[in-house]
């Protein structure tokens, strides 16, 4: 059985990591995850991805330390998207939902921080534990966590390795929804379905604009957005889908999106 499997559900691509007891991620697994996210990006019939993991205890323990001990270097070829296939996939314009089924530690948590939305099982826990083994979370944890939660909370997590539960991260706004474990995938699929009801180009433009402006003040962000070089944003107003959306609104029916 492959460590990474993909399954299409309409316009949704479900990506599942299943590798041993703790779903640790080595370079080969990163490349496989990257290929799955590349499939999401390149297929015009897909609007959103869900990343989840097999088992009930671990979402992912992060970097495969056994592989590292055997000589796999941190700068090993991780493939498109960098570590875990998503942490440095700057060109991905489609939204990703993380469905967290258990413990997400180190690089496993960094994979989740790379997603756009997060649904978590009630028993899920999260932690950046790298400092406890003499490292730092440099696959996004150092950069993304302080931007997602208050700085003091982020630095405490990074500098103590403290595990936090899903309910706490929901309070901080990092997790969208916490559900019983047996409802996790249905909740993620329901969220994905709501996303799919919106125009594909609008979804891509929203992610594109956010990525281009998140570190700018309001005036700078407007200038950047209007600069004319954001591909998806530049297409939406003259798109077939924009016309279809207006027509569907006036005709009181559901739109039929074409992604163009």
Catalytic center residues = 110, 130
List the beta bridge partners of residue 17: 4, 53
Q: Count CB-CB contacts under 10 A for residue 5.
A: 14
**How far are the Cα atoms of 131, 137, 216 from residue 142, in angstroms, in the given order?**
11, 6, 19
How far apart are the C-alpha atoms of 213 and 232, rounded to whole Å?
A: 15
Q: What is the DSSP string of 111-162?
A: HHHTSSEEEEETT-EEE--GGGGT---TTTHHHHHHHHS-HHHHHHHHHH--
Q: Which residue has the tokens 């993991």?
A: 53
How far apart are the C-alpha atoms of 236 and 44, rounded to whole Å?
A: 15
Where b means 16+ CB within 10 Å and e means fewer, 193-202 reads: eebbebbbbb
How far apart are the C-alpha atoms of 212 and 91, rounded to whole Å?
A: 11
Task: Report which DSSP code applies to 218.
Answer: H
């Amino acid at each position: 059985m492959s460590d990474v499997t993909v399954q299409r559900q309409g316009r949704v691509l479900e990506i599942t990591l299943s590798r041993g007891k703790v779903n640790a991620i080595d370079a080969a697994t990163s490349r496989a995850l990257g290929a799955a996210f590349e499939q999401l990006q390149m297929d015009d019939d897909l609007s959103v991805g869900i990343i989840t993991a097999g088992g009930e205890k671990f979402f992912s323990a992060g970097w495969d330390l056994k592989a590292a001990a055997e000589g796999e270097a941190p700068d090993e070829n991780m493939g498109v998207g960098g570590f875990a296939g998503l942490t440095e996939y700057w060109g991905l314009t489609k939204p990703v939902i993380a469905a967290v089924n258990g413990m997400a530690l180190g690089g496993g948590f960094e994979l989740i921080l790379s997603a756009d939305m997060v649904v978590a099982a009630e028993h899920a826990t999260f932690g950046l534990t790298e400092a406890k083994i003499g490292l730092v979370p440099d696959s996004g944890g150092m950069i993304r966590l302080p931007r997602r939660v208050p700085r003091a909370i982020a630095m405490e997590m990074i500098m103590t390795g403290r595990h936090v539960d899903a309910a706490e991260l929901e309070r901080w706004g990092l997790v969208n929804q916490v559900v019983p474990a047996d409802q996790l995938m249905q909740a993620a699929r329901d969220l994905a379905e709501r996303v799919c009801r919106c125009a594909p180009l609008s979804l891509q433009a929203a992610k594109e604009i956010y990525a281009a402006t998140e570190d700018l003040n309001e005036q700078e962000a407007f200038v950047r957005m209007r600069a004319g070089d954001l591909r998806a944003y530049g297409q939406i107003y003259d798109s077939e889908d924009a016309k279809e959306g207006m027509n569907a609104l006036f005709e009181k029916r559901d739109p039929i999106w074409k992604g163009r």
